[in-house]
Structure 1
Amino acid sequence: MAAKAGASGIHTSIRFLKNDDLYDAIKTYNLEFRSDEIPISNAVPEKIDNLLVKNIRGHEQDFTFDLNGFAVLDMQTSLAYDEFRDSSKIEHVYCQEVAACLLKYTEAAAVQVFDVQIRRRHPDFPFLEVNFEVNNQPALQAHIDASPEAVRLLIRSLNDPEKASRLAEGNFMYLNVWKPLKGPVREWPLALCDASSVDSSDLREHDTVFDPSTARENLMVHFNANQRWYYLSEQLPSELWVFRQCDSSGKPGVPHASFQLPTQANDPDGPRESIEVRALLYFD
């Protein structure tokens, strides 16, 4: 179902994990590699049509990071568009800029950037068949990047044992920082769910399996009519979506997914391109 415009936002479709008692006994998963032995996934999606996604453009200050779990921050990067193909410049320049921005905004004691993902939409997306050579496409399924247990394991893997134990038991936060590489975004923008509208029963632990011995637990999302979804129209490269994925205090993470705009067509500037930085913030 294509999206349609509404007075207070956009009505569109987003995919969720179908509610099924089966998942009480069997954990959902998806494979990031080819296998002749098991299915690529056992998670059954459910597309929810006519879902209202409200536009926060002009009302960004009405939302608070503590309550809603997200914010829009302005940050000019010193990297030119073409420099985002240079992994060294991304690591040593852009990631440092994001880290400094997060430290200033949150007043954390320290920040640890641990992952960067660049997504360049394939021209055939979303009708692209499963192709492990064409990865990092816009994420259509509502999800949270990591479960609390996965985050504590991540902290322990990134730090020496003595320090890791202290950090994992202290006050920390896992954030995702998303922005377009070019803009304004006129196709497949990112939708975020107000964390205060998420119930714990909406979330289901899920394994993303990278190879037969490596998996990461994240959270898939069941639809709940009480959930409130938002987006930022025509997002610019200088505008960062900063959204919580895990908080040691127990505050819920922010489900997110890409969605189709009603006016969406082939952008003359080419398919959507974005970069997301995942970071851990420590407050002790």
Structure 2
Amino acid sequence: MAATGAVVESWMYFLKKDPKYDVERIYELRRQKPTAEVPRTNMLLEKVEGVQIHDVRGQECSFSTTGFFLLDMDTKLAAEDFNERNKVVGTFLPQLADAIKAKLNASRVLLFTFDQVLLDEVK
């Protein structure tokens, strides 16, 4: 799919290739405390520079073929409310989870974020 919109260049973290993933499932503990025998995660991430991010608005995306989809949703938050953590956690993230559940007809949605504290507050 060729992008027709703007392109920006940025960096992203990707899962590093490791032979252990051939025999061990990738995991990250969220609710349990890690131990010496079982660390919080077995993921090895690598930062990749120069990733091109294309504006795909207006193009067809299919979650089943690309792993991504664009979600048009209304939120009760104004743009400035996204600077207030309690409003994001209490209002936006539950709305987002509900919208994703409805779009995918899913029974459950887990929201992953770089901010572990923020994620732990989402019920």
TM-score normalised by length of structure 2:
0.53
Cα displacement (A) at 1:52: 1.0
Looking at structure 1, the residues matched to 88 and 48 of structure 2 have their Cα atoms a distance apart, in angstroms, of 38
Aligned residue for 1:49? 49
Alignment map for 1:92-171 (pairs within 5 Å): 95=98, 98=99, 102=103, 111=105, 114-115=108-109, 117=111, 134-136=117-119
Higher relative contact order structure (alpha carbons within 8 Å, sequence separation ≥ 6): 1
Cα distance in 2 for residues equivalent to 1:62 and 1:50 = 23
Deviation at 1:18, TM superposition (A): 1.0
Residue number in structure 2 paired with 1:149:
none
Choose the corresponding residue for 2:59, options 62, 69, 78: 62
Q: Distance in 2 between matches of 1:17 and 1:118?
A: 15
Task: Label 1:16 to 1:64 Cα distance change in 2 as closer, same or farther (>3 A).
Answer: closer
CA distance in 2, matches of 1:113, 1:27: 23
Task: Check the 8 A contact 2:12/2:47 in 1, yes or no.
Answer: yes
Runs of 4+ off more than 6 Å: none
> Aligned equivalents of 1:41 and 1:83: distance in 2?
26
Which residue does the alignment assign to 1:24? Answer: 22
Amino acid in the other structure paired with 1:136? L
Show structure 1 runs of 5+ residues with no match.
1-6, 120-125, 138-274, 276-284
Tell me if the contact between 2:89 and 2:118 (Cα under 8 Å) persists in the aligned partners.
Answer: no
Flag the structure with higher strand content: 1
Residues 22 and 53 of structure 1, relative CA distance in 2, 3 Å threshold? same
TM-aligned CA distance change 1:9 to 1:30, over 3 Å? same
In structure 2, the CA distance between the partners of 1:117 and 1:46, relative to structure 1 (3 Å rule), is closer
In structure 1, distance between residues paired with 2:35 and 2:26: 18
Question: Over aligned residue pairs, what C-alpha RMSD do you find?
Answer: 4.2
* Equivalent residue pairs, number: 101
Residue 112 of structure 1 deviates from its aligned partner by: 5.4
**TM-score normalised by length of structure 1:** 0.27
Give the 3 Å change call, closer, same or farther, for CA 118–84 of structure 1 in structure 2: farther
Higher helix share: 2
Q: Percent identity?
A: 16
Matched residue of 1:62: which SS? coil
**Structure 2: tracts of 5 or more residues without a match:** 79-86
Q: SS where residue 28 of structure 2 aligns?
A: strand
